[in-house]
A and B are shown apart, each in its own frame.
Chain A
């Protein structure tokens, strides 16, 4: 999977393959292996390609706090679904797919008035289902992928009419 990590003004994107408690992490051009040891009181040992570091670690919501090498860092891991234009994109006009999948059911029709949080469609990826919900009050514009059809990552699934001033 891919995951964005915000570090202050920096935005990094990693991709991650997990094998048990080990992970292969791709960061830009490089790849490294990481393992995280059991911890107590937030203190852990983490090894990067076998090199150990003593770290302190805690998370809350989409934030991760890390103390390593004498400095404290506050990281944000944006939810990929929200980042793809779901609930987080209040100004956006279409929900896009966070990953490839298929539409299980469509809950609304074009022209229908919906309220914030109302289910628009149910999608499924890797045998897991989730609801694509309206990210604001408004009117459904188009259903871009029909029930039973599949879609690619980033595909526009359902759009809402542009907000009127």
Chain B
């Protein structure tokens, strides 16, 4: 296989910039495709070449397979990196690129397809010897059938959309009397969200942890596991704080999880970086959830503890190189925490927020990494996902990583659009988080304690002074009126 000299990035925001940085380090050319709305983003300014995509809404441009494949051919890209989201788990995209003679930096279409359907994936996993959650992996036809199966495996159970993700089409059913309503609502949501109303059912685990294993597989049959990440801190079933390693997983459990993850990767002839997600109960029993056939948002925590650049590994694998190391060479050093900085109001139901970033300053310091798509003056619109940046901290111990992340969050300045930065700081400061007592309903359980505290007297003094001296209408001498009238509009001589 020939080497890769030019890569097209079919993504945007922080991940596009992160991929470009690795390409630069590898002395590989980068081409960014972007919607007009993203012409001034840090990724667009960093790429060697940019090509504007047409399409409205803007998200549609990033999902336009024909247009992106055509651009890749025109600019002479050898390969395409899809990032995460958008076309990253689209088998048709991988196929279309293959037909055009361009490499997809990711697994083959067959693996994407097999893992993309939750019911198929669970069947393959069970056959490969992966622990699966007690349940019924076929599509359920009726509330009566759901009630019968739930009775066999015991309540509570969870109804889940077969084509699902992101928490849509999921219903917890705690007793027989709730089955009918749960079934109707889960199928309805699944149909509305994914155009596929099929649901399946499984045992519901109380206070579960979300723990996932990172794997890397080359095209020569070598597969390694890079330890676990715990991603239990979620709002609306979406992760906002992740860490590696998990404070709960012991070496024996890790070894068992890694073995299963590797065997699943081998069962689907997996190539590239992939993640096998599990949920874990209070006794450290773990059950397969799904396999994500792409680079994960939270991959940097694994990079910090393994010392590997996962994008570089993906590019090398796509170029046909063997991994060149085995499982024994993988060692985990220290601890890493990632916080997802999102334009949302954590104090008002996590509602997405928009606005221009009037001021933006990134944190610095030992063991601190900021993967960001934001820059001063950029408009945060409702066109795209609200995640703006990821703050990742590394330390010799979990306590050190948490402390560094907390300080760095406090140094992160985004003015003009409301973000969850302060809220993330409160999560990391919470005693239960510090003790590693995390589970997927952590944020709901500690909702009260995580509320925004009122400003202290000291803060109030500074804020009043800043408002009085810093607000343009009160301070700008060009506004001519004496200061005590300055806040009034429309005055004239």
Contact = CB atoms under 8 A, between A and B. Distances in A.
Interface of A: 1, 3, 5, 7-10, 12, 14, 16, 18, 21, 23, 25, 27, 32, 34-36, 41-44, 46, 48, 53, 55-60, 62, 64-75, 77, 79-81, 98-99, 125-131
Interface string B78-93: 0000000000000000
Given A36-B470, A131-B490, A53 B485 contact: no
The 8 lowest CB-CB distance pairs between A and B, nearest first, are A70-B410, A42-B359, A1-B484, A34-B465, A58-B358, A65-B415, A36-B469, A18-B483
Interface residues of B, number: 53
Given A8-B452, A46-B469, A56 B482 contact: no
A99 B491 CA distance: 13
A34 B467 CA distance: 11
A96 B82 CA distance: 60
Contact of A130 (B467, B470, B490): B490
12 contacts: A27-B460, A34-B469, A35-B469, A56-B361, A58-B415, A60-B356, A65-B359, A69-B458, A72-B418, A72-B419, A73-B459, A128-B492
B208 interface: no
Contacts of B410: 69-71
Given A25-B464, A41-B361, A72-B418, 7 more contacts: A7-B460, A9-B454, A27-B464, A36-B475, A46-B465, A53-B462, A74-B418
B472 interface: yes
B470 A48 contact: no
Contacts of A53: 462
A53 B214 CA distance: 43
B156 interface: no
A48 B456 CA distance: 15
B254 to A, nearest CB: 35
A127 B484 CA distance: 13
B489 A79 contact: yes
Contact of B487 (A75, A77, A129): A77
Contacts of B425: 70-71
Contacts of A46: 462, 465-466, 469
B464 A10 contact: no
B493 A68 contact: no
B187 interface: no
Contacts of A74: 418
Nearest to B466: A66
B415 A57 contact: yes
Contacts of A59: 358, 470-472
A99 B481 CA distance: 14
A125 to B, nearest CB: 7
A25 B465 contact: yes
Contacts of B454: 8-10
B351 to A, nearest CB: 14
B415 A72 contact: yes
Please report whether the interface of chain A is mostly helix, strand, loop or mixed according to DSSP: strand
B322 interface: no
Contacts of B490: 81, 130-131
A3 to B, nearest CB: 6
Contacts of B491: 128-130
A10 B467 CA distance: 15
B483 A1 contact: yes
A113 B441 CA distance: 59
A52 to B, nearest CB: 10
A66 B467 contact: yes
Contacts of A129: 491-493
Nearest to B461: A48
A79 B474 CA distance: 11
B376 interface: yes
B414 interface: yes
Contact of B422 (A1, A3, A72, A80): A72
A4 B409 CA distance: 30
B493 A127 contact: yes
Contacts of A16: 468, 474, 483-484
B57 interface: no
A35 B462 CA distance: 10
Contact of A57 (B466, B484, B487): B466
Given A66-B466, A70-B411, A126 B419 contact: no
B465 A3 contact: no
B468 A55 contact: no
Interface in B414-471: 414-416, 418-419, 421-422, 425, 452, 454-455, 458-471
A7 B455 contact: yes
Given A1-B483, A69-B458, A71-B459, A77 B467 contact: yes
